[in-house]
Structure 1
C-alpha cells in the first residue's frame, strides 16, 4: 500500500501567514457555519425517518482527558438537542489502550459506530477492514474545508480513513513565569535545554532536597512515553524506521546517533537529576500535574497538555509558553493528527457522519481547540488570534519540522520498542547501557521490518 505524501510545510506556512494578518475572518466563518447548522437537523441514518430512534456509539480517547472530554460531551449534547431521536453513547478508552481495544472489538465483531484513530494506527485498522471510506461518506466538497496535506496524511490510496479533528505536534511547553524569574529564554538546542533544566532544579523550601525540577519527563512504557521520545531521537539525526534509497525499510536504532539520543535522555534523570523522582511511573497526567503545581518547569507534549494544565491551575493562563523541541542536528515534531474513523460494520454510517460534521463545524472546532489546546485542521480557522498567542505559537512553528508517520503497517509497535529502551536505562536498578538497549531495540525493529516484507 502506498500513500502520496505532501509536505507539512504548506500547513505551517498557511497558519503563519494567517496569524500575521488575522482579522475577523474566523468570526465570520463561525457565523456562516452557525447559519448553515440547520442543515444538520434534517434526516439522518440513510434517509430513514428522522424520528426513528438512533443510538450512536463512539469509542473516544478524548473522554479520558480533561477538559477535552467535557467539551466533547457538551458538543454531543448540543447535537442531541437538535436531533431528539439520536442518542450518543461514549466509550472512554485511554489512548495508550486504544489500539489494543480496537483489535479486540474487531475480532469479536463488536466495533462501535466510530472510534479514535491516528495516522500511526490507520494502516492496522485498514488491514483489518474495520474502516469505512470517508471520502465517499463525507463527500469531496466537504473535505475541501481541510488542509490538503491533512487529508493526505489521514488517507490510504485516496480513501480517507478518519476525519482529522485535531493536530497535536509535539513541542516544548514551559512555565514562562519560572523562566522569567531565572532570566532564561526558550531553549534552542539540547545544551540550552540542559542548562535551563539545571538552573530550574532547586530546593525552594530550604530542607536541603530539591522540590522543583527542570523537566517533567514522561517515562512510562506506553504510547504516551514513546511518542514524546521519538522527536528527541529524530532531533539527534536518527530515525526509528525509514525507507532507504532502494525503497526498503531500515532502522537507525542501532546507530551512534540513536545511542547518543537515548544516553542524553536517560542522563537527564540519572546523571543530571533534573527530572522528578519516580520517572518510570510518570505518565502524561502526572507530568502535566507537575507543571501545573510548579513541581516542574518544562514538558514535551502536544498542545492538548495546555488545557489539561490550565484545568488544574487556571492562574497559569498567559504563563504557559511553547517552543519547538530542542535540537542536536535539527528540530523535530510529530504531526499529531487525531480524529474519528467510522466503522465499516456500522449500521448508522450516515447518522454518525452527520454528527462528525457537526463536531467539526467551525464553531465547535474552534471551541474545542481554544478549550483544550490542539490546533484545528480546517482552513477557515487559521486566522484565529489564539494561534498567535505564546502558548500556541511554538506549536505552529513546530509544524515546520513535523515528519509524516512512516507507512509501515506495524508502526504503532515502534512506540513500545523505544519505550522499552529508555525504561531499560531509567530503571533504578538497571545495569543496561545505551548500546545494549539500542541493539535490542534494533533487533525488535528488524523483526517487524522482516515481517513487512513477507
Structure 2
C-alpha cells in the first residue's frame, strides 16, 4: 500500500510539473507573439503643414486612419508645422540628421532640398508608368533634372477671391485689371458702425516676410511683366528687380496700405490664417489666395457658402498665377520608402482626391480625377481659368532666397517707409549676389 501511495504521489507531481511547464510555455509563446507583432509594425513619420490648418488637419488624419485600417501593420504619426516655418524646419532637421520619413514640399524649395541630398528620387520609386496618370506640367513642376522630388498631392493656383454678394450690391464686377481692383477696394473700405473709423476693408493683404506673402507679391509683380529671376538670351540668370516696372509694382502694392488705406492694420503680421479669418468674419472683401481658402473660410463661417467668387489675378500687362503645388517628399534617409510611397499613392486615389477637393477646395493632380469634377461655379471659375496663366518656378537651386528678397523689400517700404528706389536697389543687389554665388 505504501509503495502504491508513493507511486501515486510521484505520478501526480509529474503531471503537475508538466502542466506548469505548459503554462510557462504558453505565456512565453504569448509574449513572443506580442513581441513579434510589435516588431512587424512599421511606423512612418510625416511632417505636414496641413496639420496646422482647419479643416485640412482633421481630414488628413481621418484619411491616414482609413489607410491604417487597411494596413494594420503600418502606424502613421504626424508632425505639424506651419507653412511659413516649413523650409527652416526641414533645414534644421536635415542638419541634425533627424528628418521624418516624409515631409511637405513645394516647387519653390524642391531644388534646394535636392541640392541638400535629402529627397529620394520618386520617379524611380513610383515608376514612370504610374506618373503618366498625372498632368504632365504638374509632374514637370514637381521634378528637378527629370527626377520627381515630391508626389504632387494637390494644386492651389492663385487667384483673387472676393465677396460676390458685396460686389453685386455695389454694382461692381470681378476685377480684370489693377485699376478696377483699386476702385473696388476703395468702394468696399467702409465705416459700418458709424464711429468714424473704417472697420471693413477692400483687401486682405498678406504682407508677412515669408513664402506666403512673397508668392502673392511675385504674382502681382509678374502681372506687371516683371520676373524676379529669369534667363537672358545668353542663358545667364538675371533679375528684373531694378527695372521701372518692378518699382511700379512695389509702389502699387505698398500704396494699398500706406496711401489708400484699403487694408486692415498690422499688414506686416498678417499671414494666410489671419487674412482668411478676416474674410470669414466679414472684415475684408478680397484676398489673393489658392482655392484652399474657400474651405477654410466657409468652415469658419458656413453662411458664406456660395457668396465667395473668384477671378484670375488682375492684370497690368497680363494675368498670372502660380501652380500652388503641394505634396510630399520621401526622405532619402528613410528606411521605409516603399511603405511611405504606398501611402502617398493611397492619398491621391480617385475617391480620396475627390473628397479632399470637396473639403479643402484644392484641385486634383491626376488627369482622370480632374475629369470627374465640376468646377464651373463662381467659386472655382477663377481658379480653373488661372491654370492657363500659371508660370513655372525658375529651375534655380536657391530660388527660395528670392522669396525673402522681395518680402524684405515690401516690408521695408511698409514698416520703415523706405523709398521704392532704396528698397528695389537692395533687392537687386541681393539678387545679383545670390546669382553670383550660384556659379
So what's the TM-score if we normalise by structure 1? 0.87
Q: Does residue 227 of structure 1 match 2:215?
A: yes
* SS of structure 2 residue aligned to 1:382: helix
- Per-residue CA deviation, residues 207-261 of structure 1 (Å, 9 max, x unaligned), is 1111111000011111111111000011111111110000100011111000000
* SS of structure 1 residue aligned to 2:209: coil
CA distance in structure 2 between the partners assigned to 1:339 and 1:158 by the alignment: 17
Deviation (angstroms), 1:434: 0.8
| Deviating more after overlay: 137-146 vs 187-196 | 137-146
Residue 37 (structure 1) aligns with = none
Please tell me whether Structure 1 or Structure 2 has the larger radius of gyration of its CA atoms: 2
Residue 424 (structure 2) aligns with = 438
Q: Does residue 342 of structure 1 match 2:327?
A: no
Contact 1:186 1:323 survives alignment (8 Å): yes
Residue 17 (structure 2) aligns with = none
Deviation (angstroms), 1:51: 8.4
* SS of structure 2 residue aligned to 1:121: helix
Q: Does residue 447 of structure 1 match 2:433?
A: yes
* SS of structure 2 residue aligned to 1:120: helix
Residue 129 (structure 1) aligns with = 117
Residue 243 (structure 1) aligns with = 231
Contact 1:56 1:86 survives alignment (8 Å): yes
* SS of structure 2 residue aligned to 1:410: coil
Residue 257 (structure 2) aligns with = 269
Q: Does residue 52 of structure 1 match 2:40?
A: yes
CA distance in structure 1 between the partners assigned to 2:148 and 2:271 by the alignment: 31
Residue 361 (structure 2) aligns with = 373
Deviation (angstroms), 1:136: 1.6
Contact 1:370 1:386 survives alignment (8 Å): no
- Quickly say closer, same or farther: Cα 1:139–1:51, change in 2 above 3 A: farther
Deviation (angstroms), 1:384: 3.4
Contact 1:386 1:392 survives alignment (8 Å): no
Q: Does residue 211 of structure 1 match 2:199?
A: yes
Residue 38 (structure 1) aligns with = none
Residue 175 (structure 2) aligns with = 187
- Quickly say closer, same or farther: Cα 1:369–1:50, change in 2 above 3 A: farther
Structure 1's unaligned 5+ residue stretches are: 1-47
Q: Does residue 117 of structure 1 match 2:105?
A: yes
Residue 149 (structure 1) aligns with = 137
CA distance in structure 2 between the partners assigned to 1:415 and 1:369 by the alignment: 28
Pairing of 1:304-315 with structure 2 (within 5 A):
304-315=292-303
CA distance in structure 2 between the partners assigned to 1:292 and 1:49 by the alignment: 48
Residue 176 (structure 1) aligns with = 164
Structure 2's unaligned 5+ residue stretches are: 1-35
CA distance in structure 1 between the partners assigned to 2:370 and 2:338 by the alignment: 28
* SS of structure 1 residue aligned to 2:315: coil
Residue 268 (structure 2) aligns with = 280
Task: Give 1:165's match in structure 2, choosing from 138, 146, 153.
Answer: 153
CA distance in structure 2 between the partners assigned to 1:390 and 1:163 by the alignment: 29
Pairing of 1:294-333 with structure 2 (within 5 A):
294-333=282-321
Q: Does residue 106 of structure 1 match 2:80?
A: no
CA distance in structure 2 between the partners assigned to 1:214 and 1:52 by the alignment: 57
CA distance in structure 1 between the partners assigned to 2:39 and 2:412 by the alignment: 57
- Per-residue CA deviation, residues 63-83 of structure 1 (Å, 9 max, x unaligned), is 111111111111001001111
Deviation (angstroms), 1:120: 1.0
Task: Give 1:290's match in structure 2, choosing from 278, 291, 309.
Answer: 278
Higher relative contact order, structure no. (Cα contacts within 8 Å, ≥ 6 residues apart): 1
Contact 1:211 1:295 survives alignment (8 Å): yes
CA distance in structure 2 between the partners assigned to 1:103 and 1:426 by the alignment: 29
The alignment of Structure 1 onto Structure 2 pairs a total of residues equal to 404
Moved over 2 A (4+): 48-51, 383-386
For the aligned residue pairs, the C-alpha RMSD in angstroms reads 1.4
